[in-house]
A and B are shown apart, each in its own frame.
Chain A
C-alpha cells in the first residue's frame, strides 16, 4: 500500500531563509513522487515530479527535491524564501494504477 506523511502542518520561515518541507512515503513499488502547491482558493499546481531518472529534481519557482530511497524521503527545499512562496504544499505518490495518495499538506508562512 502507498502512503505519504508530511511532517509539520505549518512551517514558518523568514524571507530569504531556507525552506525545507518534509515528506516521507511508503510504497510497495518504485514510487513516482510529486510536489504540488496550492494558493488560496485555487487548485493544485505541479511543482516537480520524480520519475527515477535523477535523485535531485528541479522544479518551478526555484524549488527542488531530493529522493532518498534509504530514508524513503522526498523533501522539498528552496534556498531563499520569497513572500510569494506562502501557500500550502502537498507531497503525493502515484502507484501503478494511476491512483494518487496525497499527504495532509504543509502550510508555509513567510515572514518579512
Chain B
C-alpha cells in the first residue's frame, strides 16, 4: 500500500498570506490528524478528521482550519500567516478506530517570511 503523502513538501510564504496543505491518507484509512512541529514546542496536535467531520481539536487559533473530503483526503488551511507559523506540518492517517496506530506522512515544511 502507498503511504501517507503530503503536498507540497516545502513552501515559502510571507506574513499575512494564507496557505493550504494537502494530505492523502493510506487507502482505507478514514481518519486524518494534523500536527505542527517546531523546535520550541515539539509536536502539537491541531485537529483530527474522521469521515469528513472534525472529531478532535487542539488548542490553536481559528486561523487554522481543515476539512476532509469523501475520499478521506484532507486539507489544512492557515490564514493570515504569522512568523510563528513556520514549522513542519505533519499529517497522520489511521483506520479511525480507538487506539489504532497513526501512520505519518513526510510533512510539509512551511517557512513564513
Contacts and interface: CB of A to CB of B under 8 A. Distances in A.
Interface of A: 32, 34, 36, 41-46, 49, 51, 90, 94-102, 104-105
A61 to B, nearest CB: 17
Interface in B48-99: 48, 50, 55-56, 90, 92, 94, 96-99
Residue of A43, A90, A94 with most partner-chain B CB within 10 A: A43
Given A46-B101, A90-B43, A100 B107 contact: no
B104 A41 contact: no
Contact of A100 (B4, B42, B50, B102): B102
A62 B103 CA distance: 20
A100 B33 CA distance: 9
Given A32-B99, A46-B101, A49-B101, A98 B109 contact: no
Interface residues of B, number: 27
B43 A94 contact: no
Contacts of A42: 106-107
A105 B90 CA distance: 15
B25 interface: no
Contacts of A43: 4, 90, 92, 104-107
A88 to B, nearest CB: 10
Residue of B56, B99, B100, B104 with most partner-chain A CB within 10 A: B99
